[in-house]
Amino acid sequence: MAQREVEMILLRQLASELATPVVIVDDAGDLVYFNEAAEAVVGRRFEDAGEIRRDEWTARFQPTLADGAPIKSEDQLLAETIDGRRPIHGSFWMRGLDGVRRLVEGTSIPLVGQNGRHLGAFALIWEIDRE
């Protein structure tokens, strides 16, 4: 694991204490952490899944719109936040690492450090109950 900025380390620590599902990506868009609460949405423990490179997201999670149309990698929630450096909210379908397809809603927020350093982003995510 690469050395992280102090803000990323502190965010990971905060996320590890929350009951809200949190996913963290670095400035390159690589998934570097998700907390225990996010395991139910992701479909695997972080310790078992490990970090996931941005170019692997689509293949691993197979995100789609409600009609089943694939979401291009650059149009995915965290990718839009990293590239546009702005918060994004949306919903989408994804296949968890356990093979289960889930309807997910989330809000992603850019993480900006002191002196405007863009460090990455984090997303608060949750599975939508379809019943």
- Residues 47-103: tens digit of each pLDDT: 999 999 999 988 999 999 999 999 998 999 999 999 999 999 999 999 999 999 999
The pLDDT value given to residue 80: 95
Which two structure tokens, joined as six digits, stand for 81? Answer: 């936040």
pLDDT of residue 123: 97
Contact 54, 73 (CB under 8 A): yes
Q: What is the mean pLDDT of residues 4-25?
A: 95
Q: What is the pLDDT, as a whole number, of residue 131? A: 54
Share of the chain above pLDDT 90, in %: 88
- Asked whether the predicted pLDDT for residue 1 surpasses 80, the reply is no
Q: Give the separation between CA 75 and CA 67, rounded to whole angstroms.
A: 16
Q: Are 25 and 121 in contact (CB under 8 A)?
A: yes
The strand ranges marked E within the chain are 22-26, 31-34, 88-95, 101-112, 118-127
Residue 125, both tokens: 């995510």
For the segment 99-111, the average pLDDT, to the nearest whole number, is 96
Average of pLDDT values for 5-18?
95
Q: Is the pLDDT of residue 121 over 90?
A: yes
Cα–Cα distance, 94 to 127 (Å, whole number):
10
**Pick from 64, 76, 87: nearest CA to 31:** 76
